[in-house]
Structure 1
Amino acid sequence: MKLIKLTAISAAVLASTAALAAEPVIVVDNNAAVAYEAEPVAVAYEAEPAAYAYNADAGVVRNTTGAVLGSTKTLFQTAINPASVSAEVGSLGYGANIGWSLNEKVELQAGWAGGDVADLFGGDFDANDINYDVDSDFSNPYLGVQLRPTGNWFTMGAGIIVPDNDIDVRANAEGEGYYSIDGQKYYAGTAEVEQALADDFGGQNVGNLEGSLEHRNKLAPYLTVGFRPNITNNFGVFGEVGAAYLGKVDATVRYTGEEGNTVAAQDAARKAEADLEDKDWLEWFPIVKVGATYRF
């Protein structure tokens, strides 16, 4: 009996070695040892749904220093790499500007125009019955924006001018050498022949009337419309018309000459000042300019 038991046990051990995965179970009773192979038990685990999924990147700004420096670099590159340069000539003077494109329809501009503008447009104007020659020295730095509302050559401009303009005027005597101010004749010059004319016509000899004009606005807003067609990929031309509001005019008129009627001369100068300051159209300065543009 012992031999049978030992034999059965040895056989069971060998069977368990051949099939470890089966995990056999050995049952021994008084008569024999019997080996049973246990059926594998399948256990399914169902993962509980997570109440919160942690994201390690959420809310984290990586390489902050690089991001800040990168933005600054972009602005710096934009400032030192303009989109265009232009040369212009017009009522504001001879000048140039630099443009920075924000997109296809918007361009910022910074420019300057100045010089002796009077020579460009005849150099004279009328105020009431007096014609004045003009001598000017302009300086007009400006900042503005050019819009292409329809995406083509048509443009609209707006901005601010910082005017620093010297405008000198000299009254021109008409007819037989007199100025007509409020119906009164004031003769120019100091020559005896002019004095004789003054005596004959009942006028006063006041010499020459000269003066200057100064606008009150230190910042002058402007508006323009124009066109900017491209000739090639890089070159284009432009033209603009518009106006800048320079504000009220302060006029200073004086008489010159050693001879003549001083009282009459002062009266003529005062009336001429009032006439100049009374002209509302002198508050608005016309903008007319043409030029050429090179785009980078």
Structure 2
Amino acid sequence: MKLIKLTAISAAVLASTAALAAEPVIVVDNNDAMAYEAQPVAVAYEAEPVAMGYEAQPAPSYAYNADAGVLSNTTGAVLGGTKTLFQTAINPASVSAEVGTLGYGANVAWSMNEKTELQAGWAGGDVADLFGGDFDADDVNYDVDSDFSNPYLGVQYRPVANWFTMGAGIIVPDNDIDVRANPDGGVYKIDNKTFIADGENGVGSLEGTLEHRNKLAPYATIGFRPNITNNFGVFGEIGAAYMGKTDATVNAVNPGQDVNIDNGVTPGGVASGLNAGQVANLAEQELENKDYLEWFPIVKVGATYRF
């Protein structure tokens, strides 16, 4: 019975004094005394970290806005560092094919946010037939042959985050424009005079080139970019690029040939006091004085594929 009593007392004492488990415990029953040394009942261990020196980074999150037609970076990490900027550069939001007054071409777009896209593209080729293949400068009509090259860099902005867009950017024009004057009824009407075009004392053919002075041409457009599906869409834009003043060169086949003016009386006309080369210079001045050639119209349509 003494042993049972001692065991019960010892268990109670150990449970209530775990903090003093390292100290000896004395239990007394009548005249007998027994000493017990408590043992620790639990050992606590501190867990070591699984990975040292690294902090997990969230992966960029992208969301496609079907109404706006843009791919947005919802974490704002596009400009967050060299790695994410590089990833954005090699993963564009869309590619487009286009045709218009600047030529046939294509562009690549990167989405900076749900309203803004950065574009880089090129348009060129022989596009004279797209706008009729001719134009008038005062009273002279000119046929046009062209070879365009128009790389450009711009921004497309959606002010209300829908299909309506506003664009702006820079074109680097390298356009060859050849012109040839068309006589009207056998005469050229230049500098308020009517010169005989053909014959012994005629001006002959007048041919030349046009070149815009601006090496960088700013442009602005407005347009629409609705979506057909989550991946495919169409677009249209109108606007203008400031190409600067025009340098014209017009040459006569026989510049030293004296030419006559048609006075409406005799088939040969009367002497003008000018030669064909001087008449060509007058035609150059009329071409360079046309203000509309400074502002080159931009009209384009195309289709877009979004990734």
Map of 1:188 onto structure 2: 197
1:121 corresponds to which residue? 131
1:158–1:221 CA contact under 8 A, matched in 2: yes
Q: CA deviation at 1:183?
A: 2.5
For residues 255 and 217 of structure 2, what CA distance do their matches in structure 1 show?
A: 40
Deviations 1:36-84 (A, max 9, x none): xxxxxxxxxxxxxxxxxxxxxxxxxx769x9xxx932211110110000
CA deviation vs aligned residue, 1:7-48 (integer Å, no higher than 9, x gap): xxxxxxxxx9559xxxxxxxxxxxxxxxxxxxxxxxxxxxxx
Match of 2:297 among 275, 280, 286: 286
In structure 1, what residue type is equivalent to 2:86? Answer: F
User: How far, CA to CA, are the matches of 2:303 and 2:100 in structure 1?
Assistant: 12
Match of 1:207 in 2: 204
What's the counterpart of residue 91 of structure 2?
A: 81
Q: Which structure has the larger Rg?
A: 1
Q: Which runs of 5+ in 1 are unaligned?
A: 1-15, 20-61, 196-203
RMSD (CA atoms): 2.2
Which runs of 5 or more structure 2 residues have no equivalent in the other structure? 1-24, 29-52, 58-79, 260-273
CA shift in 2, pair 1:258/1:247, >3 Å:
closer
Residue 136 of structure 1 pairs with residue 146 of structure 2: yes
SS at match of 1:229: coil
- Secondary structure at the aligned position of 2:81 is classed as helix
In structure 1, C-alpha distance between the alignment counterparts of 2:54 and 2:174, rounded to whole Å: 49
Give 2:173's aligned residue.
163
* Letter in structure 2 aligned against 1:94: Y
2:114 touches 2:161 (CA, 8 Å); kept in 1?
Answer: yes
Is the 1:205–1:264 contact (alpha carbons within 8 Å) kept by the matching residues of 2? no
Shift of 1:185: 2.0
Task: Name the amino acid aligned to 1:212.
Answer: T
Could you tell me whether the CA contact under 8 Å between 1:214 and 1:249 is conserved in 2?
yes
> Is the 8 Å Cα contact of residues 160 and 219 (structure 1) preserved in structure 2?
yes
Post-superposition offset of 1:281: 1.0
Structure 2 distance, partners of 1:230, 1:156, is 17
Of 275, 280, 284 in structure 2, the residue corresponding to residue 269 of structure 1 is 280
Identity of aligned residues (%): 73
Which 10-residue stretch deviates more, 274-283 or 85-94?
274-283
Is 1:90 the counterpart of 2:87? The answer is no
- Corresponding residue for residue 214 of structure 2: 217
Per the alignment, residue 51 of structure 1 pairs with: none
Q: Check conservation: 2:254, 2:277, Cα contact below 8 A.
A: no
SS at match of 2:84: helix
Q: Could you report, residue by residue, the CA deviation over 1:69-105 in whole angstroms, capped at 9, with x for unpaired residues? A: x932211110110000000000000000000000110
After superposition, the Cα gap between the structure-2 partners of 1:258 and 1:18, relative to the gap in structure 1 and judged at 3 Å, is closer
Amino acid in structure 1 at the alignment position of 2:288: E
More helix by share: 1
TM score, norm. by length of structure 2: 0.69
Instruction: State the TM-score, normalizing by the size of structure 1.
Output: 0.71
